[in-house]
Structure 1
Amino acid sequence: MQLFGSLKRYLGLWVLNRTMRNGIDLRKLRFFPDALSLPLKRDGLDPLPGLMRTQAEEPVKRLAELFGRGVWLVSGYDAAREVLSGDAETWSNDLGQFVSQEGRTEEEQIGGLGMTDPPLHTQLRRYLTPEFTMRRLARLQPSIEAVVAGRLDAMAAAAEEGRPVDVVAEFAFAVPFEVICDLLGLPVEDRRRFFELGVARFDLSGGGAGAFGAQAQTREFLINAVKEQRLAPGDGLIGAMIAEYGDELDDVTLGGIADGVFLGGYETSASMLAMGTYLIASTPEAARMLRSDPASVDRVIEELLRYLCVVQLAFLRFAKRDVVIGGVPIKEGDCVGVSLLAANRDPVLGDDLGTFDPTREPVRHLSFGWGMHRCVGAELARMELRTALRMLVERFPDLAMANDISELDFRKLSAVYGVEALPVHLFGADRAAV
């Protein structure tokens, strides 16, 4: 158990940023070893040279030895697929069994699809999958378009007299939030409070203490939403799951599922929209393809997903038995992290993958994971990106960056990578200078 106590200290920041469910106070995190931070750091949009060098020289690499057990980084594409598609007899995603839950309320427990094992994972997936089919998601397309149109109007109003507009605050976070609320079926009058909790949940200032409280309050908010919809079911995911599985699932479980949907689809989509806007504004060919070549839109979106890969590191896996990955033996109990970012740029997938090329034939990237833990909301994320970025460049064909990439403030040591602010000129840099 000493090993997992140390893993909790050393890797706690990763777990917090990705799940906000581990109860670790960042004020107690004394240091973050350089070796363990390697897959969580970037130089702008690019992985650090050390990560790509590791991939070339040692695609399955032991990063650290903690109390006689190994912490491994998998950065090669083939080895990454091997780990991600592994079975439940070989790997466990259940960090909760290694982190004390004593004294926590049900709202504070570690959980979610990405951190559960079969049979619970299989059951949760069975409940959610029907709600994320293309047929079910198609009903959201009109509301996504309406949300995006509203945000574009607000951005245009904010850009009066040529002032730059912050895409992160005005667009990237606002669109996924409203889409998730529509998906869950949350009443409009309750969304302001939900938004405030969502903002607090990702605020790591002051050691992250406020984030922990907001996490529990968010779960409580959603549990109450479930209780209300048992009496008057809505037409969103919560109402649909009550109608289909209401007798099987209690309020806490349903609230937890809704919370997992929010957590998985909010920050990740927001980061993709923000950094995707940067690449589109900086790549005229990509903007042209989105604006006037409908047949190429999906190609642009897939290249954005591959290249940006905002979820840098897959959920940690723990070996349940001795296993060999990429020819390297890994012992039972060892912890394995998969660098999705590095795997997406592995030369085995093609040439010049360190470059964003919207004309590239789609690559079988790992940005949504692989295997049984592949992101259940992948198609919804694609819908949001496709709709939001296409409408953005149609509305503002002269969209231009207000700052060079070297002036942007990117997140540090975050499993979900992103930029803190992204000022743009909606009507072109020339008009802004007038």
Structure 2
Amino acid sequence: MKNATKASRQGAQFPPRLPIERDPVDRVAPSSKLAEARRSGEWPSFDFIDPMVGGSGVQDAKAITRYAEVREVLRAPGTRLGIVVHAEEESLKMPGMLLVGEGEEHRRAKSVLVRHLNPRRVQELRPELERIVDELLDRLATQPSPIDLVAEYTSQLPALMVSHLLGIPYEEASKIDHWTRKQSDQTVSAGEVQTAISELKAYTAEKVTKARENPGNDLLSALVHDHTDVLSDEESGGLVFSIITASLDTTARFSTLVILTLLRNAEQRAIMQEAGGISEANIDELIRYLSPAPAAQWRYITEDLEIGEKSLKAGERVQVSLLAANWDPELVGDHPELDLRRKPIPHVAFGYGMHQCPGQHLARLEVSILVSKLFDRYPGLRLAEDIDDLEWLKDDLLYATRTLPVTW
């Protein structure tokens, strides 16, 4: 990451990565360029900045936009994650870290985590999730409006929930949130990012040691004590690092987008309120429609591949657009717009293949509780600013608005 500062300056010369571009008016739909690439079946090339790469950090890749081709690329064995190919910093070499894991090591570590985050075990977290949300809503009631829901609500629950899941004191949640935000903030220096990574690695290693010595009734202790035949302590630390970094900004930004979408769409909001809240099927439709993580990490082609009727050569780079795929007529027919009455469809918003999100069941539950309880408590909720005045994180790999001022 030593070139991150230089790369971010040069990045201003480029438009947002083609696979994440959205319509400037609608703000959610794929851009016209993305839609045209998908319609034509072409794989247009685009330039982007990757601060993990030496030199200028400038890379070129092909954008894959069609639903079927996106799934083929994501499950193809002849590709590697770009971050794995080009990572030069020791801070990224951490056993058990799912973001940079590949092959058998990745499969082994992920299989342990999936066992602990299956639908049944996630539902056991519901009482604590509801308690935290109720407290956050009580706190909102004491504050003068307008209130920024990002700062006071949607960013709060994920950090507090991860603290509970891992047996970490709630008062340390803000520290965890600080480290993860530094890692995803494209405006901070490379040194700040490296410091955040190093401090979070040291923190997770310390928690693994404490769990080894004094186990509790939490996921961290289970990783350390119940899977010694599968995981080393270093891999347990990498898994904890993965849980923390993958659970905070993603859930917070998705929640923010869902609330904003329902405030903009009275018809869909009425459907939710008539049903008494957001269901899991609703969450899947919302994440399909919004695609808050609009693209998967770029991939490096390691051997010649046939994708549909076209081919990729070893040494090429590609990035799939989850956003374009989730709006593909092959998946949604002629009606890509939000429809909370739509039956569940196999979208790719949580990824596909080996790197499909292992925490998706928890994310669904968190967002459904957070959104349902908010609108139930404050049925008169409305935006306190014009939507055109909101600052959109359109250049970020996780999409949302930076703030969400509301009143009721």
TM-score, normalising length from structure 2? 0.89
Aligned to 1:214: 196
Judge which range, 189-198 or 373-382, deviates more: 189-198
Contact 1:289 1:297 in 2 (8 A): no
What aligned pairs does 1:317-328 form with structure 2 within 5 A after superposition? Answer: 317-328=299-310
Residue 133 in 1 paired to residue 106 in 2?
no
Equivalent position to 2:104, from 119, 123, 127? 119
Contact 2:133 2:370 in 1 (8 A): yes
Aligned to 2:19: 39
Aligned to 2:75: 85
Cα gap change, 1:202 to 1:401, in 2 (>3 Å)? same
Cα gap change, 1:248 to 1:373, in 2 (>3 Å)? closer
Contact 1:289 1:296 in 2 (8 A): no
Identity of aligned residues (%): 26
Distance in 1 (CA, whole Å) between partners of 2:289 and 2:131 is: 28
Cα gap change, 1:291 to 1:171, in 2 (>3 Å)? same
Instruction: Kindly provide the CA deviation profile for residues 215-268 of structure 1, in whole angstroms up to 9, marking residues without a partner as x.
Output: 210111111111111111122211111121246534332221111111111111
Aligned to 1:239: 221
Contact 2:278 2:372 in 1 (8 A): no
- Give the partner amino acid of 1:116: G
Aligned to 1:387: 369
Aligned to 1:49: 32
| TM-fit CA distance, 1:97 | 3.6
Instruction: Kindly provide the CA deviation profile for residues 42-61 of structure 1, in whole angstroms up to 9, marking residues without a partner as x.
Output: 32223322111121123433
Contact 2:293 2:398 in 1 (8 A): yes
Distance in 1 (CA, whole Å) between partners of 2:235 and 2:147 is: 40
Residue 350 in 1 paired to residue 329 in 2?
no
Distance in 2 (CA, whole Å) between partners of 1:265 and 1:271 is: 11
Aligned to 2:46: 63
Residue 404 in 1 paired to residue 362 in 2?
no
| TM-fit CA distance, 1:206 | 4.0
Aligned to 1:99: 87
Unaligned runs of 5+ in 1: 1-21, 428-434
Cα gap change, 1:369 to 1:293, in 2 (>3 Å)? same
Distance in 2 (CA, whole Å) between partners of 1:205 and 1:111 is: 28
| TM-fit CA distance, 1:297 | 2.3
Instruction: Kindly provide the CA deviation profile for residues 289-323 of structure 1, in whole angstroms up to 9, marking residues without a partner as x.
Output: 33341597233222211111111111222222111
What aligned pairs does 1:11-26 form with structure 2 within 5 A after superposition? Answer: 22-26=1-5
Aligned residue for 1:71, secondary structure, equals strand
Aligned residue for 2:338, secondary structure, equals coil
Distance in 2 (CA, whole Å) between partners of 1:287 and 1:188 is: 33
Aligned residue for 2:314, secondary structure, equals coil
Distance in 2 (CA, whole Å) between partners of 1:203 and 1:365 is: 27
Cα gap change, 1:383 to 1:332, in 2 (>3 Å)? same
Distance in 1 (CA, whole Å) between partners of 2:335 and 2:206 is: 46
- Give the partner amino acid of 2:6: R
What aligned pairs does 1:271-286 form with structure 2 within 5 A after superposition? Answer: 271-286=253-268
Distance in 2 (CA, whole Å) between partners of 1:231 and 1:216 is: 23
Instruction: Kindly provide the CA deviation profile for residues 55-109 of structure 1, in whole angstroms up to 9, marking residues without a partner as x.
Output: 112343343699xx972110111111111122x3x222263343323xx35x765
Distance in 2 (CA, whole Å) between partners of 1:74 and 1:111 is: 29
Cα gap change, 1:307 to 1:344, in 2 (>3 Å)? same
Aligned residues: 395
Contact 1:285 1:358 in 2 (8 A): no
